[in-house]
Amino acid sequence: MSTYIPLALHQTDLTGGVRVPFVPPKGGEKFPEPVFPQKPDLLTDAALPGDGERHWTPSQIWHTFHGWAIPYFKSRVLPGDLHPIVAYLFTEYKCNLDCHYCYSYDNRVKGISEEVAKAAIDWLHDGTCRALALMGGEVMLRPKLVHKIIYYARKKGFFTYIPTNGRLLTPDWIDRIGDAGVSTFNLAVDAVDEKPGLPKALNPIRKQFEHLVKKQYRYGYTVFFNINICRNNLDDVKQLTEIAHEYKISTDYHINEMPLIEQPHFQRLGTRTEVQVEELPAKEHVDLVDVRDVVERIELADLDPRVGFFERLARRALKSRLAVFHEPRGHRPQAVARLDRAPAQ
């Protein structure tokens, strides 16, 4: 959902060709701090009755009905033009990965502010919409914000949806967001193992995946694979579908084909673009061009300071190589080849 949607009620703002930034009244409010844990008995690693099987409780059934069916019926019968059923709240355009077909290539774009996110949810809540899908980029670059949004939206009765490539979805955040009441996780994977241009792979996030699947029955959320069908991953699509079947989770598919995916400007911009993943020490700025798996990198550095030294050395070397492959042209770098793609190989 665009942060400008509150202005969409005014026809002139839709047709004037000028986007006026939305500023919440009086500068807006921050979200309340989520209470955690709300269900401390579910935090244990020990087996609990009901683990491994779906048991839809009456409150979970009501939650889903309230999120989808009631807004749908209202949209059919209420007067007025605007009764959205599902809203997309783009919280983050940055990403820690770089899929070849993706529009989220510019890590300089600022994410949503807490004040605007809260105002957007409040505005939706004043209407009939009760399904809120976060969108990115990679939303888990800001896990604290995601936790707050899910906690707040669930308290207001929203069915909530988190899409993620899983790299930053640590078991601890799975528990926090599950405890806050998330309704479903879209785990985006295109391959079993990483491939050139297809970094969204299952094997690098096996630990997160296993935890996510295991805890879904306790917290009541669902998990599904979101798989892009590209010309270079057809075998992976079959394997991922079989794995989903084995783990009793759903799948959905997108077809990514030309000409949409042939966009030269979808190359990651710049080698110095940095983001900071929330809740890491201040020194842990992550260069998204060079380092893809933030979680593993931090674990390595934590294990042995010498590893961090060699890694930094390697990163400097990699940056030099990337500089060779990029030619400045105009106001921003234009990629002419990629280390992880066929021409570069």
Q: Give residues in contact with ligand SF4 (CB under 6 A).
A: 95, 97-99, 102, 104, 136-138, 165, 188, 200
The number of CA neighbours under 13 Å toward the Cβ of 245 is: 6
Query: What whole-number distance in Å separates Cα of residue 306 and Cα of residue 291?
Result: 18
State in angstroms the smallest separation of the CB of 99 from ligand SF4.
3
Structure tokens at 73: 């019926």
Structure tokens at 263: 């966009």
Say if residue 238 is exposed, middle or buried (CB neighbours under 10 Å; 0-12, 13-18, 19+). Answer: exposed
Measured from the CB atom, the residue of 34 and 166 that comes closer to ligand SF4 is: 166
Cα 327 to the chain's mean position, in Å? 31
State in angstroms the smallest separation of the CB of 98 from ligand SF4.
5
Tell me if 253 sits within 8 A of 241, measured CB to CB. Answer: no
The number of CA neighbours under 13 Å toward the Cβ of 186 is: 19
Q: Which run of H or E residues covers position 286?
A: strand 285-287
Cα 67 to the chain's mean position, in Å? 20
State in angstroms the smallest separation of the CB of 308 from ligand SF4.
25
Measured from the CB atom, the residue of 124 and 134 that comes closer to ligand SF4 is: 134
Measured from the CB atom, the residue of 3 and 186 that comes closer to ligand SF4 is: 186
State in angstroms the smallest separation of the CB of 177 from ligand SF4.
18
Structure tokens at 173: 């955040």
Query: What whole-number distance in Å separates Cα of residue 192 and Cα of residue 185?
Result: 18
State in angstroms the smallest separation of the CB of 275 from ligand SF4.
12
Backbone φ and ψ for 86, nearest 5 degrees, come out as -130, 140
Measured from the CB atom, the residue of 98 and 114 that comes closer to ligand SF4 is: 98
List, in order, residues 6 or more apart from 345 with CB less than 8 Å away.
196
Measured from the CB atom, the residue of 103 and 309 that comes closer to ligand SF4 is: 103
Measured from the CB atom, the residue of 128 and 226 that comes closer to ligand SF4 is: 226
Tell me if 125 sits within 8 A of 39, measured CB to CB. Answer: no
Measured from the CB atom, the residue of 109 and 336 that comes closer to ligand SF4 is: 109
State in angstroms the smallest separation of the CB of 103 from ligand SF4.
7
* Closest to 169 (Cα-Cα) out of 114, 129, 207, 136: 207
State in angstroms the smallest separation of the CB of 266 from ligand SF4.
9
State in angstroms the smallest separation of the CB of 296 from ligand SF4.
16
Query: What whole-number distance in Å separates Cα of residue 336 and Cα of residue 344?
Result: 9
Measured from the CB atom, the residue of 154 and 200 that comes closer to ligand SF4 is: 200
DSSP 190: S
